Structure 1
Amino acid sequence: MDRRTMLAGTAATLAATATGARAQTTGDTEMTDQPRLVMWGAALMVHPLQARLDAVAESGFTHMTVFPADVARWREGGLTDADITRAIRASGVGIATIDPYTGWVPGWSLEGLDEFTRGFIGYSEDEVFRMADVLETGQINMVESAGAAYEETAYADAMAAFAERAKARGLRPTFEFMPTSKIAGLREGWSLIQASGADVGLTFDTWHFWRSDPDHDLLATVPMDRILEVQVADGGAEIVEDLQTDLLYHRRVPGEGDFDLTRTLDVLRGMGPIRSVGPETFSQEMNETATADEAVGRNAAGLAGLMPEIADKLG
């Protein structure tokens, strides 16, 4: 199967009970000696809801994440919002965050985007807030995509305004820099969060860090209580085709690539306890060959190999 066929197949696959219920299913992200263990949705994107929940529930991961496009697809497939909530509650798996949300950015528009991208990010604030209620998550992950030309003050004001609206809905936002976006690296991403003055946490993705400017000295200056999520993904020494293709189809399971993830994780550990950690492996190979159980198990083994302190949890 070629990459474009895979893209089309993936696109076809994706397409205020708040406070009390969220407390039960999301867990807290206070700094403790044991991080929250999150199976990020990238490696499970071709699998149905119940298969994901079953695989995660049996793995040692306590949480998983959901794309807005997942919720849209499950609804199209006949699940009601009540069905989705009920399945999640029954599984015992918490939903760590709904990810990504892009509509906060100034000048956000879907005009000129391909069908896959429109289906992946094309959700309004109200739609994503309602999805968060259905998932009973207390967090929403912001990224930049399809926005106006980057100007820090305008973006900072938009981030702060969105953070206030999210807070009113019982949601805490995080922000994730990406080398494929206008906020490409840690320096720009952390600067934007600071400029906003808002209670926005950082989602730190090792793939994004290594594919932008992997400045470990800079990383060590970020307050650890602002790094709410750590996504661990590996990659090859060379970019495959281009950054976007590499990001979506050629990430590697933690420990199976060429990034010095041990160094990065050691720096993070030196900054304080890691609150929440898990693999995020967008991979054409995994989408084509892995069952949900295999995808979760392989990612669990990779993460445990890099983080022996959690190996006994991911059996």
Structure 2
Amino acid sequence: MSAELLATSWTTTGPNQTTDGVTRSTLDIRDRARAAAQAGFAGIGFTLEDLEAGLDVISWPDLKRLCDDLGFAYTEVELITDWWTSGDRRQRSDVHRNKLLDAATVLGARQIKIAGEVVKDAVSMPPQTMDLPAWAGELNHLAAQAQDAGTRVALEVLPMSNIADFTEAARLIEAADHACAGLTVDIWHLERGPSTLEDLAGVPGEKVFCVELNDAHREQVGTLLQDTMRNRQLCGEGDFDVRGFISTLQGIGFDGPWGVEIISDVHHSRPLAESLPDVVRTALKQF
């Protein structure tokens, strides 16, 4: 069996550079897209930070044309946080939100990924606190804006955030009650969080908008954020049950495209022409 794969933004970044707290790829965004297409990906993702940096070499409409010319059937953009809050944080978030909505419209993005309250120095899961009615209302509003932009929002369930449990995340999506609000399901976050494949099997399949494949060793190294950003493995080269994860998602009706998100010091140090074919080969082997 084959599958359509999407290279998430982090899979193609190569070496990253952080300036004033903002992390961006050091590679030309056009070269990243070309390398992903050459490796066999059917889609590609971008962060807003990389899209804005890429404006030095290519406009968003021209990037859309490049993606079309390369044969990509799917694009996605990320990441919106603080969408539930107020004050200065919300003002900054809304600026970010509006830019991503614009980018999604121009690129024809399949989804915008969003996240909850992340605790960056968490070694284990932070308290799972969430005002369900308030968050559901804000998520409904965000999903309506995404619908107006021709896209949808996919909440990423993160073990270092206040939404780490897939069952609770599904409750939030249900309470938001909007067709354009769904979930991002990453195997790393499932394996490092409290949920199991059995829990995942209980999530409504139509609410899984985005899936991300990868692997890792059983033992966590450092904080959750450090571990997820430095130590991921190619599919099949770690201890995760990647095939069981895929089978569970297929069982609830998810049929792709399947995102692949490889984030590690080793992966990012390799040229894309070498690393991305390995990402595709090892991911497809799981099917």
| Shorter-chain TM-score above 0.5 | yes
Q: Match for residue 124 of structure 1? A: 96
Q: Is the 8 A contact 1:110 1:146 kept in 2?
A: no
Residue by residue, what CA displacement relative to the aligned partner does 1:40-72 show, whole Å, maximum 9, x if unpaired?
121211332222222222222211111111111
Q: Match for residue 78 of structure 2? A: 99
Residue 110 of structure 1 deviates from its aligned partner by: 5.2
Residue 82 of structure 1 deviates from its aligned partner by: 3.7
Report runs of 4+ in structure 1 exceeding 3 Å deviation.
33-36, 107-111
1:41 aligns with 2:41: no
Residue type of the partner of 1:45? T
Q: Match for residue 90 of structure 1? A: 69
Q: Match for residue 240 of structure 1? A: 221
> What are the within-5 Å matches in structure 2 for residues 151-230 of structure 1?
151-199=131-179, 200-230=181-211
Normalised to the residue count of structure 1, the TM-score between the two structures is 0.76
Residue type of the partner of 2:236? G
Normalised to the residue count of structure 2, the TM-score between the two structures is 0.83
Choose from 108, 116, 122 the match for 1:136.
Answer: 108
Residue type of the partner of 2:257? S
Q: How many residues align?
A: 264
Q: Match for residue 5 of structure 1? A: none
Distance 2:46 2:178 in 1: 24
Q: CA RMSD in A?
A: 2.4
Distance 2:285 2:39 in 1: 15
Residue by residue, what CA displacement relative to the aligned partner does 1:97-129 show, whole Å, maximum 9, x if unpaired?
112222422237559xxxxxx9xx895221111
Distance 1:184 1:104 in 2: 17
Residue type of the partner of 2:112? I
Residue type of the partner of 2:103? M
Q: Is the 8 A contact 1:68 1:98 kept in 2?
A: yes
- The sequence identity of aligned pairs, in percent, is 24
1:250 aligns with 2:231: yes
Residue 273 of structure 1 deviates from its aligned partner by: 4.6
Distance 1:108 1:227 in 2: 31
Distance 2:87 2:186 in 1: 23
Residue 162 of structure 1 deviates from its aligned partner by: 0.8
1:274 aligns with 2:246: no
* Secondary structure in 2 matching 1:124: helix
Distance 1:265 1:35 in 2: 11
Q: Is the 8 A contact 2:108 2:150 kept in 1?
A: no
- Structure 2 residue ranges without an equivalent (≥5): 15-26, 120-128
- Structure 1 residue ranges without an equivalent (≥5): 1-32, 112-117, 308-315
Q: Match for residue 16 of structure 1? A: none
Q: Match for residue 79 of structure 1? A: 58
Distance 1:182 1:108 in 2: 20
Residue 95 of structure 1 deviates from its aligned partner by: 4.0
Residue type of the partner of 1:241? G
Distance 1:95 1:123 in 2: 25
Q: Match for residue 23 of structure 2? A: none
**Measured at CA, do residues 109 and 233 of structure 1 come closer, stay the same or move farther in structure 2, by a change above 3 Å?**
farther
Q: Is the 8 A contact 1:177 1:183 kept in 2?
A: yes
Q: Is the 8 A contact 1:43 1:295 kept in 2?
A: no
